[in-house]
């Protein structure tokens, strides 16, 4: 839905909440995420068609197609980490990054690689928007398009799965919520003309990268998911305090309050973004940018801190988590005695600690922390952009006014 009022934003948020609460915020690539990106791009279809109107029309038709067919999308846009100091045209092979090989009657033939298509093997389509600025000699890499994941020559190289088919007692999160991350390889793939939204035009490409901030639409889904995840973590942490009797310690109460404040901070960002949202350019309305940027830039540190708090609260108990077989087999008399909690049976206490470990310590948990750290991109680069682009007018005005006040009072 293209939101056209504050009420539309609230309706859309409620839809996001239904999805996020169903998976406790543990899935980052549910079908409402990339679809919200496409919707934001659709709102600015005129930008894509600024020089060639048919490209913008393609985007409008594609948005309608995935909406009416209820399709699930993944996306990819990062260039490979072969040599980050070299330009795309200076890589060891001209098609390390995904580039145009040639134009044919039915579309473009492309070859190369794109990064991080999470959920790719489970999705219906892949959306590859313009994302990184290009140099004047990099027109062959200026692309925006979408394809079915079943397109001939389109391949995914997936990381090892974290679901080990173990009982959910042992792997409560990785056994349910493992999203597959994949490298995308285009092996002379045909992109039909009707699936192309931008190509070859460096000027338009760079204008789209800078002027089509899709995050002003999809950040609502991101904030909803982040709240759901933090609330889930808070529930786990609170249960932890009860299980081992640490809730009375002042430093534990302080740490719990930090998690609570993180939840309410993100909720406030979301509320402010919605209430202060309005028209900008293109169709419909948009979230207010400042709360979105503040949440985006602060989230990696916020989530890292929550993970650290859980580590400190659970402490060495995270390393003493037998399997369900140990808790119910011949060793049960010992585990019942030595692994019980303050007011919880050993079986349930160990299940709780295994949940905490799967959340922050297992391969699944480590991937989750890494995902949250780099989900929005490089935090340093984002903050550099924030420094360079922020409107200092009011802040500078207060300083100037203060100097004037000093002179008047001297």
Residues 6+ apart with CB under 8 A from 155: 184, 185, 187
Q: Which CATH number is 215-396's, of 3.20.20.370, 3.40.800.10, 1.10.357.10, 1.20.140.10?
A: 1.20.140.10
May I ask the CATH architecture of the domain 45-211? Beta Barrel (2.40)
One-letter-per-residue 3-state SS of 26-94: CCCCCHHHHHHHHHHHHHCHHHHCCCCHHHHHHHHHHHHHHHHCCCCEEECCECCCCCCCCCHHHCCCC
d(CA 108, CA 60): 20
SS3 337: helix
Q: Are 200 and 140 in contact (CB under 8 A)?
A: yes
Question: What was the pLDDT predicted at 228?
Answer: 98
Give the DSSP H/E element, type plus range, for residue 265: helix 250-275
Under DSSP, the state recorded for 194 is G
Q: Cα separation of 190 and 314, whole Å?
A: 52
Which is it for strands 154-158 and 73-75: parallel, antiparallel or unpaired?
A: unpaired
Compute CA distances 61 → 16, 49, 65, 146, 390, whole Å. 24, 13, 6, 12, 35
From CA 32, how far away is CA 74, in angstroms rounded?
A: 10
Distances (CA, A) of 379 to 79, 95, 119, 288: 18, 28, 23, 20
Residues of the chain with CATH 2.40.110.10: 45-211
pLDDT value, residue 283: 95
Which regions of the chain are under pLDDT 50?
Answer: none
* Cα–Cα distance, 10 to 250 (Å, whole number): 38
Q: Which helix (H) or strand (E) holds 147?
A: strand 143-148
**According to CATH, where is 1.20.140.10 located in the chain?**
215-396
- Pairing type for strands 196-199 and 143-148 reads antiparallel
């Amino acid at each position: 839905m293209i939101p056209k009022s504050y009420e539309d934003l609230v309706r859309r948020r409620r839809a996001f909440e239904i999805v996020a609460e169903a998976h406790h915020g543990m899935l980052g690539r549910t079908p409402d995420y990339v679809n919200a990106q496409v919707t934001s791009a659709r709102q600015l279809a005129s930008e894509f068609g600024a020089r060639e109107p048919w490209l913008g029309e393609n985007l409008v038709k594609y948005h309608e197609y995935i909406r009416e067919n209820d399709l699930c999308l993944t996306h990819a846009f990062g260039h490979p980490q072969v040599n980050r100091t070299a330009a795309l045209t200076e890589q060891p092979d001209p098609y390390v990054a995904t580039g145009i090989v040639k134009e044919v009657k039915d579309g473009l033939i492309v070859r190369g690689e794109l990064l991080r298509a999470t959920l790719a093997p489970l999705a219906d389509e892949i959306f590859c928007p313009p994302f990184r600025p290009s140099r004047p000699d990099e027109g062959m890499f200026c692309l925006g398009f979408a394809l079915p994941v079943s397109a001939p020559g389109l391949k995914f190289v997936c990381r090892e799965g974290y679901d080990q088919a173990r009982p959910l007692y042992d792997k409560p999160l990785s056994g349910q919520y493992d999203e597959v991350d994949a490298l995308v390889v285009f092996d002379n793939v045909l992109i039909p003309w009707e699936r192309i939204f931008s190509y070859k035009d460096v000027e338009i490409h760079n204008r789209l990268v800078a002027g089509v901030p899709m995050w002003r639409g999809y950040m609502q889904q991101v904030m909803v998911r982040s709240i759901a995840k933090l609330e889930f973590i808070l529930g786990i942490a609170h249960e932890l305090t009860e299980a081992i009797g640490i809730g009375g310690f002042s430093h534990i109460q302080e740490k719990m309050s930090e998690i609570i404040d993180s939840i309410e901070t993100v909720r406030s960002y979301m509320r402010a973004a919605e209430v202060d949202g309005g028209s900008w350019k293109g169709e419909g309305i948009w979230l207010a940018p400042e709360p979105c940027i503040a949440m985006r830039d602060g989230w990696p540190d916020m989530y890292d801190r929550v993970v650290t708090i859980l580590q400190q609260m659970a402490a060495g108990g995270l390393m003493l988590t037998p399997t369900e077989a140990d808790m119910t087999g011949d060793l049960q008399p010992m585990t019942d005695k030595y692994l019980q909690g303050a007011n919880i049976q050993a079986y349930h206490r160990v299940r709780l600690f295994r949940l905490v470990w799967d959340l922050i310590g297992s391969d699944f948990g480590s991937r989750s922390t890494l995902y949250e750290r780099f989900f929005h991109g490089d935090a340093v680069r984002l903050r550099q952009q924030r420094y360079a682009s922020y409107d200092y007018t009011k802040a500078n005005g207060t300083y100037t006014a203060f100097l004037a006040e000093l002179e008047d009072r001297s």
